[in-house]
């Protein structure tokens, strides 16, 4: 990936994001359907302290007063519904088809070496539905026959071992919620504002419940020399020759998993079916998909994806290597770029926070470009190396506003401003941009991506 393609101006406009989805988009949809007053009433009531759902119910009752149409029951209340879909795999409602992964036009030359972004603006809670998980493939994805798939453990071990999927799935398993973030997430924004929506600025981020076997179990079974063998090489079975060095400390902690499960079912092919490495807190590239080999060694391998790619250009012109942890970061997902506030009044500002070093401790939110901050509510669960959902009330006065969030993790790391980040890292880097994101709400309600100087 070169910086020029990342900051390509061609991705600035994303008209599809203006089509109503969830959150603020829904309000926009109602407005277009000519129901402004209904929404106004509901939001005015919510702002005056009534719970939002109750307010909406009140608004509906008020709108129905004296309206004969309200007495006519809709077909779904009088007729017979659809039969059970017992044979099939469930799908979202036809009214939710706008909630999709998206690619960024002009970002990559082929769709095999490319990325699709998760629609963060449309998601609730912390789990990414598997069909909306972002994708990053260096050489396309595969749907590999699990009965043919093998995992070899070799190198500094007593006896090299080859595992079938059946053998792996018989072992004691664990299930854990973790985020995965591509190191290049938000990479387009290093130099200047480049893309319009949170889907494109932060959408190389997803969070799942992963199920699998701790890698340390497999290493112990092969009799790994944990004294001298302080590094592991993980290798994928696709054509990208994806190989990454993982330090043994991470593996010994029991956190690194050889995973086959994602959100209660087998991994999706795009996510590395039937086996992928889960390396909590570490950038996505180390989460090797289609995992076929684990080699124990006594030094880092400096593989192509560690020596040429995934290095950080520093202000003095030198490159930094093996910077793998995803530092503390957060982003407001609603209101966010491309969304539209219908009217002044109550809004729930919501977003996601995460840290590759542990738990999110606190998230502060500003609506005036960082002059004043209020502490947001962290919704449970707050888990280590996992997305955390935050919410905070806001009554918009109809004036231009700049919304920001600033996270702090339990090691005390505070998310930096762009000024602070650029002072340390320069502005020509690609990876590990964890700067504070700013969304400007304009007087007409339109929300746009901005950077404060």
Ligand X SMILES: Nc1nc2c(c(=O)[nH]1)N[C@H]1C(S)=C(S)[C@@H](COP(=O)(O)O)O[C@H]1N2
Residues that bind ligand X (CB under 6 A): 133-138, 180, 182, 236, 238, 240, 242, 270-271, 284-285, 287-290
238 binds, among ligand X, Mo ion, none (CB under 5 to 8 A by kind): ligand X
Min CB(265)–ligand X separation in Å: 15
Kindly state the greatest CA–CA separation across the chain: 82
287 binds, among Mo ion, ligand X, none (CB under 5 to 8 A by kind): ligand X
8-state DSSP, 268: P
Q: Residue 158 in contact with residue 221, Cβ under 8 Å?
A: no
Q: Which tokens is 297 given?
A: 């060694």
Closer to Mo ion by CB, 115 or 387: give it.
115
Closer to Mo ion by CB, 31 or 242: give it.
242
Min CB(236)–ligand X separation in Å: 2
State how far the Cα of 358 lies from the Cα of 412, in Å rounded to an integer.
10
8-state DSSP, 183: T
Q: Look at the alpha carbons of 38, 39, 44, 46 in this order and tell me if their dihedral is positive or negative.
A: positive
Closer to Mo ion by CB, 285 or 378: give it.
285
Closer to Mo ion by CB, 276 or 389: give it.
276
135 binds, among Mo ion, ligand X, none (CB under 5 to 8 A by kind): ligand X
236 binds, among Mo ion, ligand X, none (CB under 5 to 8 A by kind): ligand X
Min CB(135)–ligand X separation in Å: 4
Distance of CA 180 to the CA centre of its chain: 7
Min CB(302)–Mo ion separation in Å: 18
Closer to Mo ion by CB, 260 or 431: give it.
431
Q: Residue 185 in contact with residue 433, Cβ under 8 Å?
A: yes
DSSP assignment of 33-77 equals: TT-HHHHHHHHHHHHTT--HHHHHHHHHHHHHTT-GGGGSPPHHH
Min CB(165)–ligand X separation in Å: 16
State how far the Cα of 191 lies from the Cα of 425, in Å rounded to an integer.
11
Closer to ligand X by CB, 319 or 374: give it.
319
137 binds, among ligand X, Mo ion, none (CB under 5 to 8 A by kind): ligand X
Closer to ligand X by CB, 23 or 187: give it.
187
Min CB(400)–ligand X separation in Å: 36
- Residue 233's nearest CA partner among 293, 171, 148, 169 is 293
Name the site residues for Mo ion (rule: CB under 5 A).
136, 182, 284-285
Which residues, including other chains, have CB under 8 Å from residue 101's CB and lie 6 or more apart?
116, 117, 118, 119, 132, 133, 134, 135
State how far the Cα of 232 lies from the Cα of 215, in Å rounded to an integer.
10
Containing H/E element for 24?
Answer: helix 24-32
Min CB(307)–Mo ion separation in Å: 16
Q: Which residue is nearest to Mo ion (CB)?
A: 182
138 binds, among Mo ion, ligand X, none (CB under 5 to 8 A by kind): ligand X
């Amino acid at each position: 990936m070169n910086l020029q393609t990342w900051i390509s101006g061609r991705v600035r406009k994303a008209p599809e994001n203006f089509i109503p989805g969830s959150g603020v988009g829904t309000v926009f949809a109602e407005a277009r359907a000519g129901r402004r007053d209904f929404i106004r009433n509901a939001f005015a009531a919510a702002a005056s302290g009534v719970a939002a759902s109750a307010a909406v119910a009140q608004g509906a009752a008020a709108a129905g007063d004296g309206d004969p149409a309200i007495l006519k029951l809709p077909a779904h209340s009088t007729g017979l519904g659809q039969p059970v879909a017992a044979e099939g795999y469930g799908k979202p409602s036809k009214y939710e088809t706008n909630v999709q992964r998206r690619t960024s036009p002009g970002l990559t030359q082929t769709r095999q070496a490319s990325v699709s972004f998760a629609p963060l603006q449309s998601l609730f809670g912390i789990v990414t539905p598997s069909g909306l998980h972002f994708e990053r493939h260096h050489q396309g994805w595969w749907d590999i026959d699990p009965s043919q798939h093998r995992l070899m453990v070799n190198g500094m071990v007593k006896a090299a071992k080859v595992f079938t999927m059946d053998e792996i799935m018989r072992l004691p398993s664990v299930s854990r919620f973790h985020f995965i973030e591509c190191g290049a997430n938000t990479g387009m924004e290093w130099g200047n504002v480049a893309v319009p929506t949170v889907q494109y600025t932060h959408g190389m981020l997803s969070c799942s419940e992963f199920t699998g076997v701790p890698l340390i179990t497999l290493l112990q079974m092969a009799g790994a020399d944990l004294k001298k063998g302080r590094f592991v090489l993980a290798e994928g079975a696709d054509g990208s020759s994806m190989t990454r060095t993982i330090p043994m400390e991470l593996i010994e902690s029991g956190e690194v998993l050889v995973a086959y499960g994602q959100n209660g079912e087998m991994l999706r092919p795009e996510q590395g079916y039937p086996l992928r490495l889960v390396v909590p807190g570490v950038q996505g590239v180390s989460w090797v998909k289609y995992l076929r080999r684990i080699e124990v060694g006594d030094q880092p391998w400096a593989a192509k994806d560690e020596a040429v790619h995934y290095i950080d250009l520093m202000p003095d012109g030198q490159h930094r290597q093996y910077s793998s942890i995803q530092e503390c970061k957060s982003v407001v997902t609603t209101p966010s770029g491309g969304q539209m506030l219908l009217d002044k009044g109550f809004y729930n500002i919501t977003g996601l926070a995460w840290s590759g070093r542990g738990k999110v401790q606190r998230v502060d939110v500003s609506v005036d470009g960082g002059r004043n901050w209020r502490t947001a509510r962290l919704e449970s669960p707050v888990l280590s190396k996992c997305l955390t959902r935050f919410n905070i009330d806001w009554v918009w006065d109809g004036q231009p506003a700049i919304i920001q969030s600033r996270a702090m993790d339990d090691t005390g790391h505070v998310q930096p401003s762009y000024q602070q980040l650029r002072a340390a890292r320069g502005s020509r880097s690609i990876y590990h941009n964890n700067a504070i994101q700013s969304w400007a709400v304009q007087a007409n309600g339109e929300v746009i991506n901005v950077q404060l100087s």
